[in-house]
Amino acid sequence: MLEDKNQLITGLKAICSRAGDAILEVYQQPELWQTQQKSDASPVTAADLAAHQIISQGLQALTPELPLLSEEAADIPWEERRLWSTYWLADPLDGTKEFLDRNDEFTVNIALIEQGQASLGIIYQPTTACFWWGDRQLGAWKQTATAEPERIQVRPLKGQQLHLLTSHRHGLDKLQPVLTALRHQKLLLESSPLGSSLKFCRLAEGLADFYPRLGPTGEWDTAAAQAILEAAGGQLLNWQLEPLTYNQKPELINPDFVALADPSQPWHQWLKAFT
């Protein structure tokens, strides 16, 4: 199955679609939300748990030989998962706070991790029935509703114009040192807030240039997005401008990172005042 990536994508799309349907069933009935708090104070809803169950069962049927690490079942001992060379990494509902805010900006994320690298990823937005997926061999793709898939790629930077994306809750205030460093390079900045992994999808399809993130994220938050962004020609890097890796330490928390649409630009120079 892993050798036939197109067949694998077909199976993943079916799993994501079923998980998305379960999410929407809860989304349309707020009385079913049953919001709880995790140990890190982040919310979890009935939709998160339902999507996790569908993804877990679907991946077990699709690739029974591979383990799964999910945000909703992340308490796997390091002594066990450090032995994994290939596994699935999923965020069943990326953007739970966006779900609770009812702004439609939430996704289902599944990534294949091989030797610490995000090699394949798929992202599905249930409210629009839109898929994004990417793989090193297949490239990056987008498919809206019942339309045919279309190849996507990042865009080159247009002169000194830099369109950056931010989180709704981790906005421009925390990023001021980064923005100051970029303005010192005479770059003209505009910004837009967007929820969940949709920010990476915008970069991958050539609609934005830069997404800096200061603050904790889980490895499940970025893995599928990194595979798609890299397949589209972009990069996801820590602030030493090295690619993010997965399952390389006991903790599952990412370092601060920056997602780039056009790696050919002199980012080391532009960000040196910050980094």
| Residue 171 labelled as part of a binding site | no
Q: Where are the beta strands (DSSP E) in 15-174?
A: 36-37, 43-44, 68-70, 86-94, 107-114, 117-125, 130-135, 139-144, 150-152, 161-166
Contact between residue 60 and residue 104 where contact means Cβ atoms under 8 Å apart? no
CA 95 to chain centre: 10
Among residues 13, 46, 7, 5, the alpha carbon closest in space to that of 29 is found at 46
Single out the residue of 139, 162, 117, 136 nearest to residue 267, CA to CA.
162
Ligand-binding annotation for 10, yes or no, is: no
Would you say 164 is a known binding-site residue? no
- Residue at 178: amino acid letter: V
- Supply 102's token pair: 């009812």
Residue 122's CB is within 10 A of a number of other CB atoms, namely: 26
Output DSSP code: residue 256.
P
91 labeled part of a ligand binding site = yes
| Beta strands 68-70; 86-94: pairing state | parallel
**Contacting residues for 225 by C-beta, under 8 A, at least 6 apart:** 109, 121, 123, 197, 199, 200, 201, 236, 259
Contact 214, 170 (CB under 8 A): yes
Q: Is 262 annotated as a binding residue?
A: no
Q: Is residue 96 marked as binding?
A: yes
Q: Does residue 127 have a known ligand-binding role?
A: no
Residues in the annotated binding site: 71, 91, 93-96, 221
Q: Which residues are annotated as a binding site for Mg(2+)?
A: 71, 91, 93-94, 221
**Residues annotated in the binding site for substrate, as ranges?**
71, 93-96, 221
